[in-house]
Structure 1
Amino acid sequence: MKLTIKKPRNFTRFIKQATFISIVILIIFTLVASNEITRHKVAITAQPLNGCLITDSLPCTDTFKKTTSEPFIPDAKLNAQQRFLSAIARKLPTVPQAGTYEYILLRNYGAVFVNQDVGIKLPPKDIFANEQETQEFQGSLTMGHVDGTNDCYLQKSAADALNKARVQQQIPLKSGYGSGDCTRTFNTNLIFWHKYANNQILAKVQQGKETKVLGLVAPPGTSQHLWGLAIDLRVSSKEQRKALNQNGWFQTVQNDLPHWTYVGLTEDNLPLFGFNKQVVGGITYWITPL
């Protein structure tokens, strides 16, 4: 006698429902496991940075590089110096040790390293050794033309922001139309240094015995102009300053009156990143807290 197994009614629908439930359970399990892995990675990344800030155990290394395209916001519970360091540690491969020549340069010219604009490229260090290193870095940049000038170029995001400010207000370059006000070569930086200083003064700067000159001229290989993120302007009104500030441009080198730096932040956010507001001779400078 032939045995016939009779399928239950709606058997096909039952199989489909069971398959669907199994797939849903698998997806949920995968998401949970993935989330646990992600949280574990975040914890591993954050732990060394906290140690760096709490114990001041510089240098901070690649561990603290930015790993996401999301804007970074410093922890408001940290002090000003820690907030600043937590921001620049995501940009610099190595944060210089306190007391070194590189640290002195970072204190005076390091404002750009908090820049959150994903369109700009920051240098891997705060001093270039020679023209070759400078050219290699500048050759990797995306540059933009400053409207109304002959040969003034900045990194494109910086140029775009400056052009917006100059639409709001007439803001001339310090020398008129010269490229010397904008992105400079290593040799141009060197010429400016020897115009105002010499090797003896450089030795004192490197030893931390002379700092006033840094507000007048940058030592060879250290100018923000080499990075395409600074420009010298003739600014004489509150309206001009307001237009520049609204577009991320600020004065960050104390006593260097014509010098403007593309920080890429709003003025309200500067204290959050640790900057100290200092008014000298009626001019507002935003100084690093180092």
Structure 2
Amino acid sequence: MKLTIRKKRNITRLIRKITFITIVILMIFTLVASNEITHNQLSITAQPLNQCLSTDLLPCTDPSQETRLQPFIPNPELNNQQRFLSAIAKKLPTIPQPGTYEYILLRAYGAVFVNQDVGIKLPLKDIFANEQETQEFQSSLTMVHVDGTNDCYLQKSAADALNKARIQQHIPLKSGYGSGDCTRTFNTNLRFWHKYANDKILAKVQQGQETRILGLVAPPGTSQHLWGLAIDLRVSNKEQIKALNENGWFQTVENDVPHWTYVGLSKENLLLFGFNKKIVRGITYWITPL
């Protein structure tokens, strides 16, 4: 009888030890796995795009291992339009069909969708329907004040890049220091449209019969200014242009001379992403190949 009780106690102790060891092993495994995930996440860094785009570093992005933090590199064997579309397809859930109003807008204002800066946020479409949609998007942005201005804000990466350029060179805003040069509301966009155009012209734009107006003023809900990635500046010399270009700012809307877009690429890499260089009356524009 005593032997049986002793055996039972030994078995009970053994079961407890096994249970305890199992729990400890599971805890260790969980901690190790958790640490590995954290380590892997922290080790994923966005390699500077200009380094990745050098000839001998093109293989730095492996499509099978692609993450949102890795810069996208277009296939250089594709034509300009294909390279551009492959880049914006990473940002836009749906690419508009050629001939549609959305496609016309993308052709005019879609330069920002190639931006590889992980610090910026892009809209999921190229047109906002109303003030509410605009405010919902803008409220999700990280905005930073442009140095030396009054109530002028841009998305942080764009503002930081512009501030660096303005340290290199004196580059004033188009109308002084007002917010109208920077990120705009839907209603401000609408007011500018009514100043230079009307509903009849809008109908022609939507039908593809009028596109020149897009170089003067953006239709309601379509301005790059709504996205916090554009600004109107007074630029008068090559040194100012160089400072802006070196910090990712380019003129991308043909005939809109004061309008500058934060593309976030170097001048050399604009060609790789399919942009067409076009000089109009001495002004260099980088146009989407659509």
- TM-score of the two chains, using structure 2 as the length reference: 0.77
| Rounded Cα–Cα distance in structure 2 between residues aligned with 1:208 and 1:124 | 22
Aligned residues: 225
**What residue in structure 1 maps to residue 151 of structure 2?**
151
- Measured after TM superposition, the shift of residue 150 of structure 1 is 1.2
Residue-by-residue CA offset, 1:22-76 (whole Å, 9 max, x unaligned): xxxxxxxxxxxxxxxxxxxxxxxxxxxxxxxxxxxxxxxxxxxx84311111000
Runs of 5+ unmatched residues, structure 1: 1-65
Residue-by-residue CA offset, 1:78-108 (whole Å, 9 max, x unaligned): 0000000000000001010111000000000
Q: What is the identity percentage for the equivalent residue pairs of Structure 1 and Structure 2?
A: 84
Residue-by-residue CA offset, 1:222-251 (whole Å, 9 max, x unaligned): 000000000000000000000000000000
- In structure 1, give the amino acid aligned to 2:211: T
- TM-score of the two chains, using structure 1 as the length reference: 0.77
2:153 paired with 1:165: no
**What residue in structure 2 maps to residue 268 of structure 1?**
268
**What residue in structure 2 maps to residue 223 of structure 1?**
223
**What residue in structure 2 maps to residue 178 of structure 1?**
178
Residue-by-residue CA offset, 1:171-229 (whole Å, 9 max, x unaligned): 00000100000000000000000000000000000000000000000000000000000
Residue-by-residue CA offset, 1:94-133 (whole Å, 9 max, x unaligned): 0101110000000000000000000000001000000000
Q: Measured at CA, do residues 148 and 243 of structure 1 come closer, stay the same or move farther in structure 2, by a change above 3 Å? A: same
| Rounded Cα–Cα distance in structure 1 between residues aligned with 2:289 and 2:204 | 22
| Rounded Cα–Cα distance in structure 2 between residues aligned with 1:207 and 1:118 | 35
**What residue in structure 1 maps to residue 207 of structure 2?**
207
- In structure 2, give the amino acid aligned to 1:187: N
**Partner-residue secondary structure (3-state), 1:289:** coil
2:105 paired with 1:122: no
| Rounded Cα–Cα distance in structure 2 between residues aligned with 1:136 and 1:245 | 31
**What residue in structure 1 maps to residue 140 of structure 2?**
140
- In structure 1, give the amino acid aligned to 2:272: L
| Rounded Cα–Cα distance in structure 2 between residues aligned with 1:281 and 1:144 | 34
| Rounded Cα–Cα distance in structure 1 between residues aligned with 2:164 and 2:90 | 28
| Rounded Cα–Cα distance in structure 2 between residues aligned with 1:155 and 1:171 | 18
| Rounded Cα–Cα distance in structure 1 between residues aligned with 2:245 and 2:95 | 27
Structure 1 runs of 4+ aligned residues shifted over 4 Å read none
| Rounded Cα–Cα distance in structure 1 between residues aligned with 2:228 and 2:115 | 13
**What residue in structure 2 maps to residue 253 of structure 1?**
253
**What residue in structure 2 maps to residue 24 of structure 1?**
none
| Rounded Cα–Cα distance in structure 1 between residues aligned with 2:221 and 2:71 | 29
**Partner-residue secondary structure (3-state), 2:225:** helix
- In structure 2, give the amino acid aligned to 1:195: K
| Rounded Cα–Cα distance in structure 2 between residues aligned with 1:152 and 1:133 | 21
Equivalences for residues 51-66 of structure 1 within 5 A: none
**Partner-residue secondary structure (3-state), 2:279:** strand
Equivalences for residues 59-98 of structure 1 within 5 A: 67-98=67-98
- In structure 2, give the amino acid aligned to 1:74: P
- In structure 1, give the amino acid aligned to 2:265: L
**What residue in structure 2 maps to residue 53 of structure 1?**
none
| Rounded Cα–Cα distance in structure 1 between residues aligned with 2:286 and 2:112 | 12
| Rounded Cα–Cα distance in structure 2 between residues aligned with 1:174 and 1:231 | 9
**What residue in structure 1 maps to residue 242 of structure 2?**
242
Cα RMSD, aligned residues only: 0.7
- In structure 1, give the amino acid aligned to 2:208: G
- In structure 2, give the amino acid aligned to 1:88: I
| Rounded Cα–Cα distance in structure 1 between residues aligned with 2:269 and 2:147 | 28
